[in-house]
Amino acid sequence: MAQIKYVITDGLGIHARPAGLLVKCCEDFSCDIKIGTPLKMVDARRIMGVMGLGLKKGDELTMTFEGADAKEASQALTEFLKTNL
Amino acid sequence: MFKKFREISIMAPCAGDAIPVAEVNDPAFSQEILGKGVAIKPTDGQVFSPVDGVIDMVFDTRHAVTLVSDKGVEILIHIGLNTVELAGAHFTALVKAGDKVKIGDALINFEKEEIEKLGYDITTPIVVCNPQDFKGIQPKTLGTVTAGQCLMVVER
């Protein structure tokens, strides 16, 4: 299992477009991926769940990865978060 | 089996001109990254519920709403393109997360002319966010559409 934490710096937070792109990025991997906060974690492959977190600038998000390609997925998602959020 | 048991109708949430999402001038929609569906270029500033279901969330910026239909279809209605940048100006939400809604209930009002004057494209995609849970999604109406008319059909 791998885990990453990231503080959102984008002023608009996770609105529709970044949620869609994040889900698309996860589709390249087979491991189980969750995103959220300690209070609420959701399946990172479901757009509505990701949007429903309502994460904003300054919020710290957690992503967890479980499965064969967890390490690769966590590296790709780390890059995604830095670039897009 | 009867066809009607396998088909879930999604009604038009607003009046206007319906186009395939592939023609929307935003890759997040045209490449179906946010889901499969239809877009409407609205002729007025009212958005109604396209299904019987529950409001999942209204964005803080009130430019978009998500619903889960009673039959499990997850729907995003996104009013205009890049309208997240308006930070809520010109949008009025009439519902909140958790509200039960029926087809035709008013969800959001928006000042169409004001938003267009600011240079935004008001094209409103209506997409199914969980197409993987269904066999297919077929547009039913393209061109002139009235609110409440069948816009697309989700096949179970």
Residue range A66-83: mean pLDDT, rounded = 95
**Contact at CB, A15 and B35, closer than 8 angstroms:** no
Asked whether B29 and B82 are in contact (CB, 8 A), the reply is no
**What is A5-70 written as a DSSP string?**
EEE---TT-S-HHHHHHHHHHHTT--SEEEEEETTEEEETT-HHHHHHT---TT-EEEEEEESTTH
Contacts by B146-149 with C-beta closer than 8 Å and gap 24+? B146/B12, B146/B15, B147/B11, B147/B12, B147/B13, B147/B14, B147/B15, B147/B46, B147/B48, B147/B104, B148/B11, B148/B12, B148/B48, B148/B103, B148/B104, B149/B11, B149/B12
Confidence of residue B6 (pLDDT cuts 50, 70, 90): confident
Confirm or reject contact between B30 and chain A (CB < 8 A).
no
The CA distance from A85 to the nearest CA of chain B, in Å, is: 15
- The contacts of residue A51 (CB under 8 Å, 6+ apart) are A14, A15, A16, A19, B57, B59, B66, B76
Mean of pLDDT over chain B:
95
Q: How far apart are CA B21 and CA B35, in angstroms?
A: 9
pLDDT digits 0-9 by tens, B92-124: 999 999 999 999 999 999 999 999 999 999 999
Residue A39 has pLDDT above 80, yes or no: yes
Question: Which residues constitute the domain of residue B28?
Answer: 3-155
Residue B3 has pLDDT above 90, yes or no: no
Return the residue of A nearest to B34 by Cα: A20
Please tell me the total count of domains within chain A: 1
Confidence of residue B4 (pLDDT cuts 50, 70, 90): low
Query: Which one of A43, A47, A53 makes the best mutation probe of the B interface by having the most chain B beta carbons within 10 Å?
Result: A47
Mean of pLDDT over chain A:
95
> What pLDDT score does B2 carry?
56
Confirm or reject contact between B22 and chain A (CB < 8 A).
no
Residue B144 has pLDDT above 90, yes or no: yes
Q: ipTM of the assembly?
A: 0.86
Residues 12-71 of A with CB under 8 A from B: 12, 15-17, 19-21, 23-24, 46-48, 51-52, 54, 56
Task: Give contacts of B37 with chain A, Cβ < 8 Å.
Answer: none
Query: In chain B, pLDDT over 70 holds for what percent of residues?
Result: 97
A73-82 burial, b at 16+ Cβ within 10 Å, e below that, comes to bbebbeebbe
The CATH number of the domain where B17 resides is what?
A: 2.70.70.10
The CA distance from A42 to the nearest CA of chain B, in Å, is: 14
Question: Which residues constitute the domain of residue A77?
Answer: 2-84
Please tell me the total count of domains within chain B: 1
**Contact at CB, A46 and B68, closer than 8 angstroms:** no
The CATH number of the domain where A30 resides is what?
A: 3.30.1340.10
Return the residue of A nearest to B60 by Cα: A54
pLDDT digits 0-9 by tens, B33-75: 999 999 999 999 999 999 999 999 999 999 999 999 999 999 9
